[in-house]
């Protein structure tokens, strides 16, 4: 049940739902944890950038492979190559039960989550029959055999965790 609630909060954040007010801020990506989690140091208008603590952001609307799962390290590396040390905009919708901000990450006018799925580094988040907000990008990545979709039957992260547990 907690998984369902966490997914609904994340999905509503990605699709513009009314569960939470959107908070936007700009900053620099300082760290990539995995293919769908980054740390963003918010800009400071008072010149105190070094004192601002980075915000851990879980990208909503997608699910990247676990670090120890096939294509997991490639997904994290692709995200790092795209956004590390870059100035971005965060559209934060909520906070999950782990204290992570949930939202979307924008590099200029590009939704980084949409880019990750389009390049085959993540799945569009789905629940039941809902294909998620990036279903079109996933369909095109599958058809082109990009990234993790080059494998014959890539395993969804939730199924991987169910079989193997979390990565160490």
Residues spanned by the domain of 103: 19-164
The pLDDT value recorded for residue 3 is 43
Each residue of 42-77: pLDDT tens digit?
A: 998 655 555 689 999 999 999 999 999 999 999 999
Is the distance from CB of 103 to CB of 13 less than 8 angstroms? yes
* Terminal Cα distance for the chain, rounded: 24
26 within some domain: yes
Q: Is 31 a catalytic residue?
A: no
Please give the Cα distance from 116 to 112 (Å, whole number): 6
Q: Which of 129, 150, 148 is nearest to 69 (CA)?
A: 148
Q: Is residue 42 part of a domain?
A: yes
- Could you tell me if residue 6 is inside a domain? no
In this structure, is residue 117 part of a structural domain?
yes
> Does residue 24 form part of some domain?
yes
Alpha-carbon gap, residue 165 to 45, rounded angstroms = 43
pLDDT for the residue numbered 21: 84
Question: Which one of 66, 119, 138, 155 is the catalytic residue?
Answer: 66
Conformational region of residue 85, where left means phi above 0, alpha means psi within -120 to 50, and beta covers everything else: left
Active site residue 58: yes
CB contact at 8 A, 58 and 151: no
Residue 123 lies in a domain: yes
Which residue ranges of the chain lie beneath pLDDT 70?
Answer: 1-20, 45-51
In a domain, 14, yes or no: no
Name the residue among 38, 89, 31, 87 with its Cα closest to residue 59: 38
Please list the alpha-helical segments (H only) found in 50-156.
72-83, 112-118, 135-144
In the prediction, which pLDDT does 68 show? 96
Domain count, the chain: 1
CATH number (domain holding residue 57): 2.40.50.90
124: helix, strand or coil: strand
Q: Which of 100, 146, 158, 161 is catalytic?
A: 100
Active-site residue (options: 58, 82, 92, 126): 58
- Note if 142 is an active site residue: no
């Amino acid at each position: 049940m907690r998984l369902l609630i966490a997914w609904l909060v994340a999905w509503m954040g990605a699709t513009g739902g009314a569960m939470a007010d959107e908070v936007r801020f700009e900053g620099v990506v300082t760290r990539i944890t995995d293919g769908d989690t980054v740390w963003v140091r918010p800009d400071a208008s008072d010149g105190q950038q070094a004192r601002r603590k980075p915000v851990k952001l879980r990208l909503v609307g997608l699910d990247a492979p676990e670090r120890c799962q096939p294509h997991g390290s490639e997904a994290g590396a692709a995200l790092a190559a795209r956004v590390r040390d870059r100035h971005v905009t965060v559209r934060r919708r909520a906070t999950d039960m782990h204290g992570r901000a949930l939202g979307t990450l924008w590099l200029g006018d590009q939704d980084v989550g949409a880019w990750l799925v389009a390049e085959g580094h993540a799945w569009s988040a789905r629940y039941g029959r809902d294909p998620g907000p990036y279903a079109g990008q996933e369909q095109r990545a599958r058809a082109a055999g990009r990234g993790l979709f080059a494998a014959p039957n890539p395993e969804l992260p939730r199924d991987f965790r169910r079989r193997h547990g979390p990565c160490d």
